[in-house]
C-alpha cells in the first residue's frame, strides 16, 4: 500500500460585478479548500502479468468544521456521511493486465476537465479552472454541470494498455446523474445510464484527444445530457500551449433544452521554480436559450515552488456573463461558500493566495 495526497488551501477575495438589485453585499474575504485529499493505493501481484488494484480517495476540507458534517462535492451537492463516509473521490477496485489493460468498478472523473488547462495545478486556484465554462451549460433558471463536473458514480471502466502512445478509456455507468439506482422506482419512465469514450494519443511533446459523453437520468422528466470535446497541446522549451472545443447539450422530457459550444486556449510557462499559467475561455450563445447567454473568462496565476512538494501562488480570475447567463467559478459554492452563487448577468471575479503541499 502507498499513501499520498495534498493539502491545498487558499485565502481569497471574491466579488460580483454588475450585482443584482437584491444583493446587499457584493464581496467577501474567505478561506477556501482547493480539494485537499488523501489517497490509499493498493496493488497485489497475482502472477502472469495480472494484478489486483484499488484506490481509496478521501477528500477533506481543512478550512471547515468536522463533527460528521456532509462533505460537499465539487459541484453536485453533498455526499451524505451515511451513503459514502470517506470515499467521495476517485475510489475503485479492479484487475490490471499487462496485455489487456485495466477494468475497475467504482467512482471516476469522466469526460469533464479534458481541456489541457494547468492553472489549477500546484498552487494555482482550483476555482479559476477553465472547467467553469467548458463543463457547464446554462438552463432557463440555473447552471447545470456536464458529467456532474465531478466523480461519476456506479462506473465500470476499461483503460487500454499504452499502444505506442495511443490509449483508450471506455466507461459505463448504471446511474450517472442520480444519488442511487432508481430504474424500478414508481413513476420512472427511463432507465438511467451513461457512457464515455475517450481515445488519446500522447507523444513526448504533444497530445491530441477526444471525449464523448452520453447520459440519461432515472428522473420522471427523462432528463439527459450529451457532450463532445476535442483537445490537445504542444510543448516547446518551457512553454505549453493548448486548445479545446466543447459541445454540450441538455434534454428534458426528450426535448433539447440547451445546446452550447465553448472553447478555451490555455498557456503556461515554467522556468526553474517559477510557473506562469493563463487561459482565455469563451462559452458561445446557447442555440436553444437564445440571445445574451454567452460568457467569457480570463484567468492568470503565478506559482513559486518552495520545494519539489510545496508551492505558493496567487491567482486572478474573472467571468463576464451576458444578461441571461450565469456561469460561476468551478467549485465556488461547493468548496467555497454557498452565498457566492451567481445570478443572471452578474460577473464574478476573485484574487486568491494559495499554498499547496504534496506528500
- Helix, strand counts (H, E) of the chain: 1, 21
Q: Which helix (H) or strand (E) holds 32?
A: strand 27-33
Q: What is the 3-state secondary structure (H, E, C) of 182-244?
A: CCCCCCCCCCCEEEEEEEEEECCCEEEEEEEEEEECCCCCCCEEEEEEEEEEEEECCEEEEEE
Q: Name the nearest CA neighbour of 348 among 260, 356, 119, 336.
A: 336
Q: Name the nearest CA neighbour of 214 among 193, 200, 198.
A: 193
| Whole-number Å distance between alpha carbons of 32 and 74 | 12
Tell me the whole-structure pTM to 2 decimals.
Answer: 0.91
Q: Name the nearest CA neighbour of 101 among 174, 193, 166, 173.
A: 166
Residues of the chain with pLDDT under 50: 67-82
pLDDT at 253: 82
| Whole-number Å distance between alpha carbons of 99 and 233 | 28
Residue 222 neighbours by CB distance under 10 Å: 16
Q: What is the 3-state secondary structure (H, E, C) of 66-96?
A: CCCCCEECCCCCEECCCCCCCCCCCCEEEEE
pLDDT at 79: 40
Cell readout for 245 is 472545443
DSSP assignment letter at 176:
S
- Angle, CA of 240, 241 and 246, to the nearest 5°: 130
Residues 6+ apart with CB under 8 A from 27: 13, 14, 15, 16
| Whole-number Å distance between alpha carbons of 19 and 261 | 26
Residues composing the chain? 359
Which SS3 state, helix, strand or coil, does residue 143 take? strand
* Contact predicate 353/12, CB 8 Å: yes
Residue 302 neighbours by CB distance under 10 Å: 16
- Angle, CA of 24, 322 and 300, to the nearest 5°: 85
Q: What is the 3-state secondary structure (H, E, C) of 245-269?
A: EEEEEEEECCEEEEEEEEEEEEEEE
Domains of the chain listed by start with CATH number:
2-358 (2.40.160.10)
Amino acid at each position: 500500500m502507498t499513501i499520498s495526497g495534498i493539502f491545498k488551501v487558499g485565502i481569497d477575495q471574491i466579488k460580483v460585478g454588475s450585482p443584482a438589485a437584491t444583493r446587499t453585499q457584493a464581496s467577501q474575504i474567505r478561506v477556501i479548500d482547493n480539494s485537499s485529499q488523501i489517497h490509499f493505493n493498493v496493488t497485489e501481484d497475482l502472477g502472469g502479468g495480472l494484478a489486483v488494484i484499488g484506490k481509496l480517495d478521501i477528500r477533506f476540507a481543512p478550512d471547515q468544521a468536522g463533527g460528521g458534517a456532509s462533505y460537499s462535492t465539487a459541484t453536485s451537492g453533498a455526499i451524505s456521511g451515511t451513503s459514502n463516509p470517506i470515499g467521495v473521490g476517485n475510489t475503485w477496485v479492479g484487475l490490471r493486465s499487462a496485455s489487456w489493460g485495466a477494468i475497475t468498478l467504482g467512482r471516476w472523473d469522466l469526460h469533464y476537465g479534458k481541456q489541457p488547462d494547468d492553472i489549477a495545478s500546484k498552487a494555482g486556484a482550483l476555482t479559476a479552472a477553465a472547467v467553469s465554462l467548458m463543463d457547464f451549460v446554462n438552463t432557463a433558471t440555473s447552471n447545470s454541470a456536464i458529467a456532474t463536473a465531478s466523480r461519476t458514480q456506479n462506473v465500470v471502466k476499461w483503460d487500454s494498455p499504452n499502444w505506442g502512445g495511443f490509449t483508450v478509456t471506455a466507461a459505463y455507468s448504471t446511474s450517472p446523474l442520480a444519488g442511487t439506482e432508481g430504474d424500478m422506482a414508481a413513476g420512472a419512465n427511463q432507465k438511467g445510464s451513461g457512457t464515455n469514450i475517450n481515445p488519446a494519443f500522447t507523444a513526448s511533446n504533444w497530445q491530441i484527444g477526444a471525449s464523448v459523453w452520453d447520459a440519461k437520468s432515472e428522473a420522471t422528466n427523462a432528463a439527459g445530457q450529451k457532450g463532445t470535446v476535442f483537445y490537445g497541446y504542444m510543448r516547446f522549451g518551457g512553454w505549453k500551449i493548448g486548445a479545446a472545443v466543447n459541445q454540450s447539450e441538455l434534454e428534458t422530457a426528450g426535448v433539447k433544452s440547451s445546446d452550447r459550444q465553448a472553447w478555451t486556449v490555455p498557456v503556461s510557462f515554467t522556468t526553474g521554480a517559477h510557473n506562469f499559467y493563463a487561459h482565455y475561455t469563451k462559452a458561445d450563445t446557447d442555440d436553444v436559450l437564445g440571445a445574451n447567454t454567452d460568457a467569457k473568462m480570463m484567468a492568470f496565476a503565478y506559482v513559486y515552488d518552495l520545494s519539489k512538494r510545496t508551492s505558493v501562488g496567487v491567482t486572478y480570475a474573472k467571468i463576464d456573463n451576458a444578461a441571461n447567463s450565469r456561469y460561476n467559478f468551478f467549485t465556488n459554492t461547493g468548496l467555497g461558500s454557498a452565498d457566492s452563487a451567481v445570478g443572471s448577468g452578474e460577473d464574478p471575479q476573485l484574487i486568491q493566495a494559495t499554498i499547496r503541499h504534496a506528500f
